[in-house]
């Protein structure tokens, strides 16, 4: 198969980027999108040119590293899949393909198609943890959790932190990511002690990173390779409101507000 | 933590909640206004009497006006602050971007809102302050019974083609705004559940469409001579 690629090239976060056109031939329908870029990069290296930088690691859809906007869609045209799971058979022979990085102020470009997503890590650091007793491993059934709750928490925990929700959102909002991470722990009994603090701190960190606000476009849900439901966003909103009310009540009793 | 915790409205989520609550108040007003307008079908006495009741009860009219003013100011200022924030969140735009889930109404909330705001200003000047110069009819503050002559002013206005055209454009903007907003506000306030989401969304859309039909019924009735 042959393709005409239109790829974003950018030296670093400070320089201005531009699109470069590449013609590539000899690709099979079995090549994954990233393998196609590997083939192109080998050619570029042979020609003494800079290869195209892009993030990748596991190449089986679980690490959340790959991050390409292909033909205007985060992770490309295939539903419920990451870029590494996308194969060239999804494209027409000779098709022109546009490749861009995740675009958000909170995701500065490192080089070409690779962006810095440590803003998501900082949201996790702000409250994405639970307190546990150290020592011997607790008996697995010591804390009963109903199947409904376990399933729901698992649905939220499926988030691989790739940032496709941010990339797809018209406002570059990280609400689906934050909602999934907050709700995953807030649903479980182990997450209750830090529940309110977690919700408030993770939301505040999300805002501090400069992500946009949620306008309920639902583009995030449609782009998510793990099909995480935007219902979690509504639940995060509810958790934040109750957390703030409770925190306000607590501080009001202690120090008459403020 | 207590200083941070006391400021829900400093978070983007809190700002969205301000949008949702003020939007809900304005949505309620729009439904009330539509029901008020529909009284034109009951004849001049009904609608003029309704207006008289409102005006003769200062608590009612000034209470409603104050709540609406607060809601409008909150809705507009928060909208501007969120729009700026959202614009800043993506400094470099995509060269190619496809929409999968969103729709035209959701993407143009700011512009439909601005259209409605401009229409409200014109609408107040026209009917509340009675500025009808150049419209080819006389604004009548009172009818023969001394009641506010809403009926006369309404029917005469809809006989002016460009008044009706502006009204239809504003209704288009309003229905699009409600099409997204009436559902969106529940999601923002966290009133959602897997089992009821579909029903909630379709009911919100149905109510928004009913408002559109209700408002458009009046100029159509004037056009076809049902209301004279």
Domains and CATH numbers, chain A: 3-111 (3.10.20.30), 118-255 (1.10.1060.10)
Instruction: Quote the tokens at residue A171.
Output: 């406002």
Question: What gap in Å lies between CA A92 and CA A89, rounded to an integer?
Answer: 7
What secondary structure, in 3-state letters, does A106-167 show? Answer: CCCEEECCEECCHHHHHHHHHHCCCCCCCCCCCCCCCCCCCHHHHHHHHHHHCCCCCCHHHH
Contact list, B97 vs chain A (CB under 8 Å)? 69, 72
- Helices B150-157 and B44-56 cross at an angle (nearest 10°) of 120
Query: Chain A contact for B17, CB < 8 A?
Result: yes
Query: Chain B contact for A81, CB < 8 A?
Result: no
What's the CA angle centered on B175, arms B171 and B180, to 5 degrees? 155
What is the DSSP pairing of strand A109-111 with strand A114-115? antiparallel
- % of residues, chain B, pLDDT over 90: 87
- Which range, of A186-195, A245-254, B82-91, B171-180, averages the lowest pLDDT? A245-254
Q: Average pLDDT in the B74-93 region?
A: 98
Query: Chain A contact for B220, CB < 8 A?
Result: no
Q: Nearest CA to B189 among A108, A240, A166, A140?
A: A240
Which pLDDT value is given to residue B136? 85
Query: Chain B contact for A155, CB < 8 A?
Result: no
Chain B: residue whose CA lies nearest to A239: B190
Q: Nearest CA to B44 among B119, B121, B156?
A: B156
Greatest alpha-carbon span in chain B = 65
Which pLDDT value is given to residue A252? 55
Which pLDDT value is given to residue A253? 52
Query: Is the model's pLDDT at B117 over the cut of 80?
Result: yes
- % of residues, chain B, pLDDT over 70: 97
Question: What gap in Å lies between CA A129 and CA A106, rounded to an integer?
Answer: 22
Question: What gap in Å lies between CA A238 and CA A183, rounded to an integer?
Answer: 11
Which positions 184-213 of B are in contact with A (Cβ < 8 Å)?
184, 186-194, 197
Cβ–Cβ gap A240/B107 under 8 Å: no
Which pLDDT value is given to residue A247? 87
Chain B: residue whose CA lies nearest to A102: B94
Q: Nearest CA to A180 among A199, A149, A204, A157?
A: A157
Which pLDDT value is given to residue B170? 98
- Digit-by-digit pLDDT tens for chain A (258 residues) are 999 999 999 999 999 999 999 999 999 999 999 999 999 999 999 999 999 999 999 999 999 999 999 999 999 999 999 999 999 999 999 999 999 999 999 999 999 999 999 999 999 999 999 988 888 888 888 899 999 999 999 999 999 999 999 999 999 999 999 999 999 999 999 999 999 999 999 999 999 999 999 999 999 999 999 999 999 999 999 999 999 999 877 765 544 444
Which pLDDT value is given to residue B95? 98
Which pLDDT value is given to residue B176? 97
Instruction: Quote the tokens at residue B214.
Output: 């209700």
Residue A33 in contact with residue A87, Cβ under 8 Å?
yes
- Domain-by-domain residue ranges, chain B? 2-88+104-223
Chain centre distance of CA A128: 15
Instruction: Quote the tokens at residue A147.
Output: 């199947």
Question: What gap in Å lies between CA B116 and CA B123, rounded to an integer?
Answer: 10
Residue B40 in contact with residue B47, Cβ under 8 Å?
yes
The per-type count for chain B, helices as H runs and strands as E runs, is: 9, 0
Query: Chain A contact for B108, CB < 8 A?
Result: no
Query: Chain A contact for B82, CB < 8 A?
Result: yes
User: Radius of gyration over alpha carbons of chain A, in Å?
Assistant: 21
Residue A172 in contact with residue A166, Cβ under 8 Å?
yes
Complex ipTM, two decimals?
0.93
Query: Is the model's pLDDT at B1 over the cut of 80?
Result: no
CATH 1.20.1300 given to domain B2-88+104-223: yes
Instruction: Quote the tokens at residue A113.
Output: 């198609």
Dihedral angle of Cα B219, B223, B225, B228, to the nearest 10 degrees: 50
């Amino acid at each position: 198969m042959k393709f005409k690629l239109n790829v974003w090239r950018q030296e670093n976060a400070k320089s201005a980027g531009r699109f470069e056109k590449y013609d590539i031939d000899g690709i099979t329908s079995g090549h994954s999108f990233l393998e196609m870029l590997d083939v192109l990069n080998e050619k570029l290296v042979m020609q003494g040119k800079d290869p195209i930088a892009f993030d990748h690691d596991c190449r089986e859809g679980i690490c959340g590293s790959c991050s390409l906007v292909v033909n205007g869609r985060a992770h490309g045209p295939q539903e419920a899949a990451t870029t590494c799971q996308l194969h060239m058979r999804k494209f027409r022979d000779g098709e022109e393909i546009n490749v861009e990085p995740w675009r958000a102020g909170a995701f500065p470009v490192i080089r070409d198609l690779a962006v810095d997503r440590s803003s998501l890590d900082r949201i996790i650091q702000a409250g994405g943890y639970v307190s546990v007793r150290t020592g011997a491993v607790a008996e697995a059934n010591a804390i009963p959790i109903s199947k409904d709750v376990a399933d729901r928490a698992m649905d939220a925990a499926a988030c691989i932190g790739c940032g496709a929700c941010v990339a797809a959102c018209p406002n570059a909002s990280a609400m689906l990511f934050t909602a999934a991470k907050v709700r995953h722990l807030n649903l479980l009994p182990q997450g209750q002690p830090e529940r309110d603090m977690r919700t408030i701190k993770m939301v505040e960190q999300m805002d501090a990173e400069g992500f946009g606000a949620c306008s309920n476009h639902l583009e995030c849900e449609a782009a998510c390779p793990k099909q995480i439901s935007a219902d979690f966003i509504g639940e995060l909103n509810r958790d934040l409101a109750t957390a703030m009310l409770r925190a306000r009540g607590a501080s009001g009793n202690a120090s008459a507000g403020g | 933590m207590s200083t941070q915790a006391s400021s829900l409205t400093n978070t983007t989520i809190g700002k969205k909640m301000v949008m949702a609550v003020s939007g809900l108040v304005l949505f309620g007003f729009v439904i009330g206004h539509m029901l008020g307008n529909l009284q034109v079908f009951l004849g001049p006495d009904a609608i003029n009497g309704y207006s008289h009741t409102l005006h003769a009860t200062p608590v009612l009219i000034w209470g409603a006006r104050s709540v609406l003013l607060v809601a409008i100011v909150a809705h507009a200022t928060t909208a501007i602050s969120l729009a700026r924030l959202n614009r800043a969140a993506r400094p470099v735009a995509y060269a190619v971007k496809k929409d999968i889930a969103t729709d035209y109404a959701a993407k143009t909330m700011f512009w439909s809102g601005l259209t409605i705001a401009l229409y409200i200003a014109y609408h107040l000047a026209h009917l509340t302050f009675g500025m009808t110069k150049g419209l080819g009819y006389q604004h009548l503050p009172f009818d023969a019974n001394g009641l506010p002559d809403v009926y006369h002013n309404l029917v005469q206005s809809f006989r002016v083609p460009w008044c009706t055209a502006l009204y239809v454009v504003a209704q288009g903007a309003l229905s699009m705004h409600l099409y997204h907003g009436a559902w969106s506000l529940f999601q923002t306030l966290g009133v959602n559940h897997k089992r009821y989401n579909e029903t909630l969304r379709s009911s919100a859309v149905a109510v928004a469409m009913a408002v559109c039909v209700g408002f458009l019924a009046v100029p159509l009735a004037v056009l076809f001579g049902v209301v004279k």
